Amino acid sequence: MEDSKGKFVTQEETGEIPPMDEVEGRVEAEMKRLEGAARESVAQGTQNAALEREGRELREEGERELEEQREEEKQ
């Protein structure tokens, strides 16, 4: 067998994000979006304006993070 030492380049060396890390970021952003939507919905039912605002902000933050993840994947 031929020695192939030094012929491989790692993801760390190229600066490439491992696929597992990409998925983790999307999952966290999606969970934020879902949690925010749930909080917003509950707050609407209980007519709690402050909780509704918190939920909306959390949902929007999750949506922004998901969009950023998609943009990073395109590059």
Here the contacts of 62-69 (C-beta below 8 Å, separation 24 or greater) are 62/29, 62/30, 62/31, 62/32, 62/33, 62/34, 62/35, 62/36, 63/29, 63/33, 65/25, 65/28, 65/29, 65/32, 66/26, 66/29, 66/30, 66/33, 68/29, 69/22, 69/25, 69/26, 69/29
pLDDT digits (tens, 9 = 90+) for 28-56: 889 999 999 999 999 989 999 999 999 99
What pTM did the predictor assign? 0.64
Of residues 34 and 10, which shows the higher confidence score? 34
